[in-house]
Amino acid sequence: MAPTSTPDMTTASAHHHAPAHGIPFGEAVRVWAKIAALSFGGPAGQIAVMHRILVEQKRWIGEARFLHALNYCMLLPGPEAQQLAIYIGWLLHKTKGGLVAGTLFVLPGFVSIMVLSWIYAAYGNVGVVQALFFGLKAAVLAVVLEAVVRIGRRALKNNIMVGLAAAAFVAIFFYGVPFPIIILTAGVIGFLGGHYRHPAFGADGGHGKASDREYSDADSALGDQLPAHARATTAWSLKIAAVFLALWLAPVLILLATLGTGNVFSQIAVFFSKMAVVTFGGAYAVLAYVAQQAVQHYGWLKPGEMLDGLGMAETTPGPLIMVLQFVGFMAAFRDAGTLPPLLAGTLGGLLATWVTFTPCFLWIFVGAPFIELVRDNDKLNGALSAITAAVVGVILNLAVWFALHTVFAQVVPVRRYGLSFDLPVLSSVDPWALALSLAAAIAILRFKVGMIAALIACTAAGVVLHLAGLIG
């Protein structure tokens, strides 16, 4: 059956506006805008939306090619769902297709979180607003716990993987080992395991079939042949790498040269540029490290505010890593210098977003033409399996960290014998926060209540508790 979106190519007009596969660029822009508006629910939901629209409904790309692209994106740092959009957009309409697909994917979330950040900064101390975020934190804690369970089921396939997850948790929670070191160590272990073909490090990419029905590449608009523009050439790779390295790093270097290393904008640019190259394993994994640095090292946020930002990202379209925009906003808002605070916050959020997502285009445009070279590489698959297992431990640390600062009003730092962690003061437990968190966890884990429904219910409960005078 021919793809449903392929136009009649018998007319000169149609031939002029559509490439060989018959998909007009204008139609692709409208479809990417639709996907962006529906991209709620984290990477799993976003990938499912793309599969349903691009593979099942439009038949623009086949099942095997879709999963091949997804497996490559899983090897990269950064949000895999956005990178998948860039990859498919590039396959369909060259560089401009990737630019449009990737930009539209983050645009709704960027606008939404910027507006919410303004409201949070201006009215965050108002009782009703505090009550909204009180309920939101409880639900977000349950969502993170659910992520531990979901990813753990996929990644911890044997005792070695369980051991890697446990070691990662102990390293980051009890010893404060930085997230990049944990990921690098796990990757080296997995690489060696794959090199020696240890069965524990075999990987299938972590993805099952996306659908019970198979949509073949040959029957899709793109077909099963590699488009001419997708063939790797050294000249094009060097050119596109130079362009996107300049777009990414030139603002960072300019800020360092003009403002110095101690300025908040320079710190935002450098810190989130580092995040762009170590964010393996998705948003939940890197958030543990961001929270550790933004709260404890830089002092940009208070512990509970990191949960507020994650709640914003959970309830708006786009990648969950958009929470970094909120972190950049609040960092600059609170250290505005001579600028009006809201203007400084806006610039900080924009800067954090720029250095977070610009590298994603670089990874795809430079690496995608060479993907066939690493498709069945045992060493890389082993590294990815080990990294994913370590990520489970890192996300568990994030859940524990959130729980300590959501349910307890006070924690006591323990810094002795090489250990570095926080213990809760049991007498400071917040019974309403504990009750809401338990209710949200039961609803999501036991009764499979949707994430959005749980978030809405908990925020509503927070407002009710405030109006009843039970919380401040």
pLDDT tens column, 39-55: 765 676 688 788 888 98
* Cβ atoms of 61 and 88 closer than 8 Å: yes
3-state SS class at 209: coil
Which is more confident, 61 or 402? 61
pLDDT (tens digit, 9 = 90+) per residue, 213-225? 557 767 777 777 7
Is the predicted pLDDT of residue 281 greater than 70, yes or no?
no
The average pLDDT across 280-293 equals 74
Q: Which pLDDT score, from 0 to 100, does residue 125 have?
A: 65
The residues that bridge with 414 in the sheet, in sequence order, are: 421
**Which residues are CB-neighbours of 325 under 8 A, at least 6 positions away?**
110, 113, 114, 117, 349, 350, 352, 353, 356
Provide the token pair at 61. 């790309």
Is the predicted pLDDT of residue 354 greater than 50, yes or no?
yes
Residue 255 CA neighbour count, 13 Å, CB half: 22
**Which residues are CB-neighbours of 3 under 8 A, at least 6 positions away?**
22, 58, 59, 60, 219, 220, 221
* Cβ atoms of 342 and 333 closer than 8 Å: yes
User: From CA 127, how far away is CA 309, in angstroms rounded?
Assistant: 18
Query: How many degrees, rounded to 5, is the angle at CA 185 between CA 181 and CA 187?
Result: 115
Residue that has been written with the tokens 């949070």 in this structure: 120
User: From CA 416, how far away is CA 6, in angstroms rounded?
Assistant: 66
The average pLDDT across 427-441 equals 93
Q: Which residues of 99-109 are buried (b: 16+ CB within 10 A; e: fewer)?
A: bbbbbbbbbbb
Q: Which pLDDT score, from 0 to 100, does residue 227 have?
A: 76
Element (H, E) at 16: helix 12-17
User: From CA 182, how far away is CA 459, in angstroms rounded?
Assistant: 35
Is the predicted pLDDT of residue 10 greater than 50, yes or no?
no
Is the predicted pLDDT of residue 448 greater than 70, yes or no?
yes
User: From CA 195, how far away is CA 405, in angstroms rounded?
Assistant: 42
Provide the token pair at 339. 């600028």
User: From CA 455, how far away is CA 140, in angstroms rounded?
Assistant: 7
By the 10 Å C-beta count (0-12 exposed, 13-18 middle, 19+ buried), 230 is classed as middle
End-to-end CA distance of the chain: 61
Mean pLDDT of all residues belonging to the chain: 84
Q: Which pLDDT score, from 0 to 100, does residue 205 have?
A: 40
- Between 108-112, 176-180, 330-334, 420-424, the lowest mean confidence (pLDDT) is in 176-180
Is the predicted pLDDT of residue 280 greater than 80, yes or no?
no
3-state SS class at 455: helix
User: Can you say how many angstroms the Cα of residue 125 is from the centroid of all Cα atoms in its chain?
Assistant: 28
Q: Which pLDDT score, from 0 to 100, does residue 225 have?
A: 72
* Cβ atoms of 149 and 323 closer than 8 Å: no
Distance (Å) of CA 315 to CA 141, 244, 306, 309:
14, 30, 15, 10
pLDDT (tens digit, 9 = 90+) per residue, 222-279? 777 777 777 778 888 899 999 999 999 999 999 999 999 999 999 999 999 998 887 7
Parallel, antiparallel, or unpaired: how do β-strands 419-424 and 411-416 relate? antiparallel
Q: Which pLDDT score, from 0 to 100, does residue 214 have?
A: 59
Q: What are phi and psi of 291, to 5 degrees?
A: -60, -45
* Cβ atoms of 327 and 290 closer than 8 Å: yes
User: Can you say how many angstroms the Cα of residue 159 is from the centroid of all Cα atoms in its chain?
Assistant: 27
The residues that bridge with 115 in the sheet, in sequence order, are: none
Query: How many degrees, rounded to 5, is the angle at CA 216 between CA 215 and CA 220?
Result: 90
Most confident by average pLDDT, 59-63, 258-262, 388-392, 456-460:
258-262
**pLDDT range class, residue 68, cuts 50, 70, 90:** confident
Q: Which pLDDT score, from 0 to 100, does residue 384 have?
A: 74
